[in-house]
Structure 1
Amino acid sequence: MMIHWLIQTIDDHPALKHATPPEGLLSDQEWGIFTQLKTEKRAHDWLMGRWTAKQLLHQLTQAPHSTIRIFNHANGAPYCPDFPQYSLSISHSGDHAVCAVIEGEGLQVGVDLEHIEPRIDAFVEDYFTPEEQASIHQCEDKDRLVTLLWSAKEAALKALHIGLNIDVRAINCSLDTEAAEDWNPLTVSYAQPDSLTTNWYDGVPKTSRGQASGWWRQEGEYVLTLIALQTETAQ
């Protein structure tokens, strides 16, 4: 299983600093979407994500940026109709954006980028499973671990093509090893999508749960996570 990824910052293209589409980046359809964005922040994030995703797909296919169209399904998941063999996921945080791409029948990928920062205790109590909370309380670097576990949940929900309209305790994340300098493994267990409801945490039998492997790494002041799933378990 090969996951390609690319992280970029706003400094990688001068036009991005002004929320201006670089020349040749967007197709006519994408221009129409861009002009409907209501705020400068939304336009900035959208452009950063598209620029990064198209840069990565260009590296893989050699196709011109304007011929690589990226749209969103109704559930928010991005897709490229011009290269349907690839599943892709996009995330942005601050002045950074990241895209991950996986090729293969039945594979879906989720990526998330989060800035490491303190979060209040109520956040941990409300959004993390008892197992995750136990790991957090035992950890010396609490801010990074909370950020990492949250990022893994976000990446898993993206791979499942499900938004944050569910109880995020449906996703339980555990780290497999101590942190290394490169990619580190993690494991997520999750309720099968037909069990993912707002009251999931009230009780779902183990037979209704799935499991997936993931990876994480620290990028400066950010945490980057990847999750890959087979479509059979993601549908």
Structure 2
Amino acid sequence: MKGDGLAEAEIFEAHSKPWLIVRHEIFDVYQPLEVLPPLVDAEEFASFKTKKRKGEHLAGRAVLADLLFERGFEPTQLEVVRNEFRAPSLAWLQGSFQSRPLPGISIGHSMGHVVVALIEPGWWVGIDAEPLTRSISEKAFDQFCKGEELVMLKKRPQLARLLWTAKEAVQKAMHMGMALNPRGIIFENDIPIADFINNISIRNTKIQLKIMVRNDLQYGVAWRPADSSLGMAEDELLDVSREEMRGEEGDVSSDIGCVAGRD
């Protein structure tokens, strides 16, 4: 595995609260591991049907464990838990006798890349990234845009990847994923401003969003104060749905309307 971390300052610039860390690593999804890394549930891992899916899961958990350790958390004392809607969060393992508040997490995968975001306890974060070599078919535009935004995107199709990652990040930060229709996420001035913290409002919730290009990836990172309860979807479910929409060349197609079903 090759690691390439993004510095905290690149995300927050002069801001210090809340702290937020983003890390990017390149991995071989078919590389076998003899021992499961921390934060991997053996039963859940066994349920994945493909070697690629298993490799992505292992890579994401391994990077997450590294980040947690660097922030002073012992990953072997933690687990990733989900509510009935499979929204992910961290929890102390039973018997660890710990009560320290835990950070929010978000994980994304794409074409051998894994990106992980870790944010200060009391906050939710969402991250998505796409290689600049990947394109989004115009046939899929109406699955995540509508109205004037869709008209604009058809005139400026080069912005599709940017809008896609920005909306995925917002969905994850809201902890709603598939339940939040991306067509209902609208930005001022048509698109978020790159390398700038954009303030947006979704369902009376203030969200901060930053989009940027680093390491030949288009990033979207969104964060917001956490609710008292978990959200309604999981990052990895979004990633799986997105992968199902891709053709053999890696382009997003409209053959499978997974995104359109996120009502």
Whether TM exceeds 0.5 here: the answer is yes
Q: In percent, how many aligned pairs have the same letter?
A: 22
Q: Which residue of 2 aligns with 1:186?
A: 198
Greater CA deviation, 152-161 or 109-118? 109-118
Q: Which of 169, 183, 206 is the matching residue for 1:155? A: 169
Cα-to-partner distance string for 1:122-148 (whole Å, 9 max, x where unaligned): 322332133433553554xx33x2111
Opposite residue 55 of structure 2, the aligned amino acid is H
Aligned residues: 203
SS at match of 2:41: helix
Contact 1:149 1:173 (8 Å CA) reproduced: no
Q: Which residue of 1 aligns with 2:147?
A: 130
Q: Distance in 2 between matches of 1:43 and 1:229?
A: 30
The answer to which structure has the higher helix fraction is: 1
CA drift of 1:56 comes to 0.9
Opposite residue 102 of structure 1, the aligned amino acid is I
Contact 1:115 1:147 (8 Å CA) reproduced: no
- For the pair 1:111 / 2:127, whether they are aligned, the reply is yes
SS at match of 1:69: strand
SS at match of 2:38: coil
Opposite residue 208 of structure 2, the aligned amino acid is S
- Which sections of structure 2, spanning at least 5 residues, go unmatched? 1-17, 93-99, 232-263
Q: Which of 51, 54, 57 is the matching residue for 1:43? A: 54
Q: Which of 24, 38, 42 is the matching residue for 1:26? A: 38
Distance change in 2, residues 1:26/1:78 (3 Å): same
Q: Distance in 2 between matches of 1:24 and 1:10?
A: 16
Distance change in 2, residues 1:126/1:26 (3 Å): closer
- Which sections of structure 1, spanning at least 5 residues, go unmatched? 193-208
TM-score normalised per structure 1: 0.73
SS at match of 1:218: strand
Distance change in 2, residues 1:161/1:38 (3 Å): same
TM-score normalised per structure 2: 0.66
Q: Which of 72, 96, 108 is the matching residue for 1:61? A: 72
CA drift of 1:84 comes to 3.9
Q: Which residue of 1 aligns with 2:11?
A: none
What is the root-mean-square deviation in Å for CA atoms of aligned residues? 2.8
Opposite residue 89 of structure 2, the aligned amino acid is Y
Q: Which residue of 2 aligns with 1:93?
A: 110
SS at match of 1:101: strand
CA drift of 1:62 comes to 5.2
Distance change in 2, residues 1:136/1:77 (3 Å): same
Runs of 4+ in 1 over 4 A off after TM superposition: 232-235
- For the pair 1:173 / 2:190, whether they are aligned, the reply is no
